[in-house]
Amino acid sequence: MTAPAGQDLDLRQIELFLYREARYADEHDYDAWEALWTDDALYWVPAGGDLTEPGAQMSVIYDNRSRITTRLNQLRTGRRYAQSPPSSLRRVISNVEVLGREGSDILVGANFMLAESRDRGVEFWAGRTTYRLRIVNGQFRLAAKQVLLVNRDQPLPTLAFLI
């Protein structure tokens, strides 16, 4: 991949990274997905309620790097029944915007729509994702991903795949 370091941010390069991350998640490519994360990773799916103090309230997912590995290792056992068999997934990412910078990190926002099919039926998921990207050795890496589901204040079905 061409590194955009030191240049004006190339939105196309950012989009291609987001699409790749989405494809790894859709296709349950756990190794490739895990390799995208930085060591200070945060993978966060908030529940209803405010977003100011995640450590003091329940979230659907609030994984640091170590817990991401635990989550993936559970999936890798093949006995994570909520994903065994795995859901069939496809998501569309759109409305990609660079929201700004925090230090050398790049904040990117996007919307998504995702269809999940399993024996239980088809679920439709949608929301807003905010990514914190970092360029490491000329490659984009994922430092944080926050997924705000449109229906996060409602009862949610099982969400055992990578969103």
Strands 88-102 and 59-64: unpaired
Number of residues that bind other proteins (CB under 8 A): 34
User: Is 61 one of the binding residues for other proteins (CB under 8 A)?
Assistant: yes
Considering the complex, state which of residue 16 and residue 156 has its C-beta at the smaller distance from other proteins. 156
Joined together, the tokens standing for residue 158 give: 């099982």
**Which among 65, 42, 61 is positioned nearest to 152, based on CA atoms?**
61
Q: Near other proteins by CB under 8 A, which window of 16-24, 28-36, 51-59, 95-103? A: 51-59
CB of 68 closer than 8 Å to CB of 31: no
The whole-angstrom separation of Cα 113 and Cα 127 is 7
User: Is 126 one of the binding residues for other proteins (CB under 8 A)?
Assistant: no
User: Is 82 one of the binding residues for other proteins (CB under 8 A)?
Assistant: yes
User: Is 85 one of the binding residues for other proteins (CB under 8 A)?
Assistant: no
Q: Does a cis peptide bond (omega within 30 degrees of 0) precede residue 86?
A: no
Residues of the shown chain interacting with other proteins in the complex, contacts defined by CB under 8 A: 45, 47-49, 55-63, 67, 70-71, 73-74, 77-82, 119-120, 153-160
